[in-house]
């Protein structure tokens, strides 16, 4: 089974929007291999509109000319990804990422390019044509590049098989499919078809569904057909969005498990908004970044960095390479909140091997505050308590406590 633990990697959206280039991807992959790979970071994901030659920022250019092959399959824009020349597609870039010991991913929109349908292009390895698969009544509300597909038709199945066969040839390890996770019920069959074609393409690929919020009542369906799915709309560096995530995390955490991970979205840390905002650095305080990393780890969300990694400062690097905190997503199970109020939240997560418990204390208020958790029901044979952000040992007592600045967090490993 793939994605046995929550996937960890880098995605180009936060820092480059639709405008990322091959040079950007190679630079960030190189940094990841040199500085982050030993800590479990492995996926390098090219986000939306890699097939759009004139993309310049986070804004979409409606009805722009997209690059595609003669079968209606999108291909990398050569002015942005020059190694794709000669029909090579993303294979040379994927080969480079693989040579670093990392894995390569791409973003796709559900469906097919409108122009593939309008031009009645043939579907690869099929007797069908693109216009037979396209559903002109199924259009993304925020990006008009694509038509959804008539998923009950053989043509739709043939088209999705053709694109995943191409991605397998390129060496893709991760596919983020957009305009689908929150589109129940009308995209339910499309999720099933995409999942079947992804799993049947002959190469292991993590299948990630976006954007959120995915409907909680469809959790079992999502767990059956995807490896990760967004539980929120795009998450950015605002405290109100982070504070609101505690409610979502509390509802979704029970559904996390090997091969299926509720996704709280990307980590807006470090240098963001490279292409269209001179105020590039994250607006989160250091305390808020600790809170975010702690919550994502306790709920076992996938971890996807949004920063330009080559600009990483010491604080951000330490945040992303704290082995004790990163181990929570891999070594714990059943993480959940004991209680959450407007002012604080307390979470616990047992270690899978039975050797201890992780406990997280969060100050959600706007002022310094002591957060406490009685230990009577956590363990009867505590031998060691370590706060993972600071590395400090704490005396064993009947109550776990931390005096925290506003919006800060502490997370402890209680070994037994």
E strands along 282-343, which residues? 303-305, 336-340
What is the structure's pLDDT at 378?
75
Q: How large is the angle between the packed helices 239-252 and 286-298, nearest 10 degrees?
A: 10
Residue 397's pLDDT is: 82
At residue 342, the pLDDT reads 98
Backbone φ, ψ for residue 254 (5° rounding): -70, -15
Residues linked to residue 271 through DSSP beta bridges, in sequence order: 281
Per-residue model confidence (pLDDT) at position 246:
98
Contact 117, 136 (CB under 8 A): yes
pLDDT of residue 379: 59
**β 369-374/399-404 pair status:** antiparallel
Q: In the prediction, which pLDDT does 377 show?
A: 65
Distance separating alpha carbons of residues 178 and 358, to the nearest angstrom? 34
pLDDT at 330: 97
pLDDT in 10s for each residue of the chain, 416 residues = 799 999 999 999 999 999 999 999 999 999 999 999 999 999 999 999 999 999 999 899 888 899 999 999 999 999 999 999 999 999 999 999 999 999 999 999 999 999 999 999 999 999 999 999 999 999 999 999 999 999 999 999 999 999 999 999 999 999 999 999 999 999 999 999 999 999 999 999 999 999 999 999 999 999 999 999 999 999 999 999 999 999 999 999 999 999 999 999 999 999 998 876 667 899 999 999 999 999 999 999 999 999 999 999 999 999 999 999 999 999 999 999 999 999 999 999 999 999 999 999 999 999 999 999 998 867 556 679 999 999 999 887 889 999 999 999 999 999 98
DSSP type of residue 35: I
**How far is it, in rounded angstroms, from Cα 201 to Cα 115?**
25
User: Rounded distance, CA 381 to CA 365, Å?
Assistant: 33
pLDDT of residue 1: 77
CA distances from 395 to 17, 376, 399 (A): 47, 15, 10
Conformation bin of residue 256: beta by default, left when phi > 0, alpha when psi is -120 to 50: beta
Joined tokens for residue 111: 């469906």
């Amino acid at each position: 089974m793939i994605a046995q633990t929550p996937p960890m990697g880098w995605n180009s959206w936060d820092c480059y929007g639709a405008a990322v280039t091959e040079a950007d991807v190679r630079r960030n992959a190189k940094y990841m291999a040199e500085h982050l790979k030993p800590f479990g970071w492995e996926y390098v994901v090219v986000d939306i509109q890699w097939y759009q030659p004139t993309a310049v920022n986070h804004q979409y250019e409606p009805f722009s000319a997209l690059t595609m092959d003669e079968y209606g399959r999108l291909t990398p824009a050569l002015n942005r990804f020059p190694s794709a020349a000669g029909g090579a597609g993303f294979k040379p870039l994927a080969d480079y990422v693989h040579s670093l010991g990392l894995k390569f991913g791409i973003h796709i929109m559900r469906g097919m390019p409108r122009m593939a349908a309008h031009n009645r292009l043939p579907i690869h390895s099929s007797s069908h044509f693109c216009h037979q698969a396209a559903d002109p009544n199924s259009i993304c509300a925020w990006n008009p590049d694509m038509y959804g597909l008539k998923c009950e038709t053989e043509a739709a199945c043939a088209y999705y098989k053709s694109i995943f066969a191409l991605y397998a040839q390129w060496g893709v390890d991760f596919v983020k499919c957009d305009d689908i996770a929150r589109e129940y019920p009308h995209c339910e069959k499309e999720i099933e078809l995409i999942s079947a074609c992804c799993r049947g393409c002959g190469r292991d690929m993590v299948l990630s569904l976006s954007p959120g919020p995915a409907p909680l009542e469809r959790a079992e369906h999502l767990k059956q057909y995807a490896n990760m799915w967004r539980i929120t709309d795009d998450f950015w560096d605002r405290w109100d969005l982070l504070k609101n995530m505690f409610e979502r995390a509390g509802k979704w955490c029970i559904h996390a498990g090997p091969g299926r991970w509720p996704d709280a979205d990307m980590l807006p840390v470090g240098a963001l908004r490279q292409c269209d905002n001179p105020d590039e650095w994250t607006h989160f305080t250091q305390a808020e970044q600790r809170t975010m990393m702690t919550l994502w780890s306790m709920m076992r969300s996938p971890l996807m960095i949004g920063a330009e990694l080559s600009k990483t400062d010491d604080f951000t690097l330490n945040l992303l390479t704290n082995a004790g905190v990163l181990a929570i997503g891999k070594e714990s199970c059943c993480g959940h909140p004991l209680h959450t109020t407007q002012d604080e939240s307390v979470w616990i997560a047992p270690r899978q091997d039975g050797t201890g418990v992780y406990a997280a204390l969060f100050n959600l208020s706007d002022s310094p505050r002591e957060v406490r958790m009685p230990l009577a029901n956590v363990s009867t044979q505590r031998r060691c308590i370590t706060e993972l952000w600071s590395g400090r040992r704490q005396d064993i007592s009947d109550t776990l406590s931390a005096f925290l600045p506003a919006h800060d967090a502490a997370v402890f490993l209680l070994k037994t």
